[in-house]
Amino acid sequence: GSGGFRKRKHDNFPHGQRREEKENVNPSSALMTSFKSFQLELDTRHDKYERLVKLSRDITIESKRTIFLLHRFTSAPNGEEILNESEVKLDAVRRKIKQVAEELIGEDMYQFHRAISPGLQEYVEAVSFQYFIKTRSLISVDEINKQLIFTAEDREDTKNTTSDCQDNQPRSWSLKVTPVDYLLGVADLTGELMRLCISSVGNGDIDTPFELSQFLRQIYDGFTFIGNTGPYEVSKKLYTLKQSLAKVENACYTLKVRGSEIPKHMLADVFSTKTELIDQDEGLP
The residues spanned by each domain of the chain are: 43-152+171-177, 179-280
Task: Spell out the CATH class of 179-280.
Answer: mainly alpha
Confidence band (pLDDT; 50, 70, 90) for 168? low
pLDDT digits (tens, 9 = 90+) for 1-10: 555 545 555 5
pLDDT for 38 beyond 90: no
pLDDT for 253 beyond 80: yes
Asked if residue 188 lies in contact with residue 121, where contact means CB atoms within 8 angstroms, the answer is yes
- Distance in angstroms between the alpha carbons of the first and the last residue of the chain: 53
In this structure, which topology does domain 43-152+171-177 adopt according to CATH?
Methane Monooxygenase Hydroxylase; Chain G, domain 1 (1.20.58)
pLDDT for 166 beyond 80: no
pLDDT digits (tens, 9 = 90+) for 108-127: 899 999 999 999 999 999 99
What span, in angstroms and rounded, lies between the C-alpha atoms of 187 and 122? 11
Mean pLDDT across the chain:
81
Stretch 166-194: mean pLDDT = 85
Helix H or strand E segment including 54: helix 30-70
Q: What is the pTM of this model?
A: 0.78
274 Cα distance to chain centroid? 29
Higher pLDDT, 67 or 239: 67
Asked if residue 116 lies in contact with residue 55, where contact means CB atoms within 8 angstroms, the answer is yes
125: annotated binding-site residue?
yes
What span, in angstroms and rounded, lies between the C-alpha atoms of 48 and 55? 11
What span, in angstroms and rounded, lies between the C-alpha atoms of 130 and 127? 5
Domain 43-152+171-177 identical in fold to domain 179-280: yes
Name which of 141, 120, 115, 139 is nearest 128 in CA terms.
139
Asked if residue 254 lies in contact with residue 270, where contact means CB atoms within 8 angstroms, the answer is yes
Handedness of CA 40, 38, 44, 147 (dihedral sign): positive
192: annotated binding-site residue?
yes
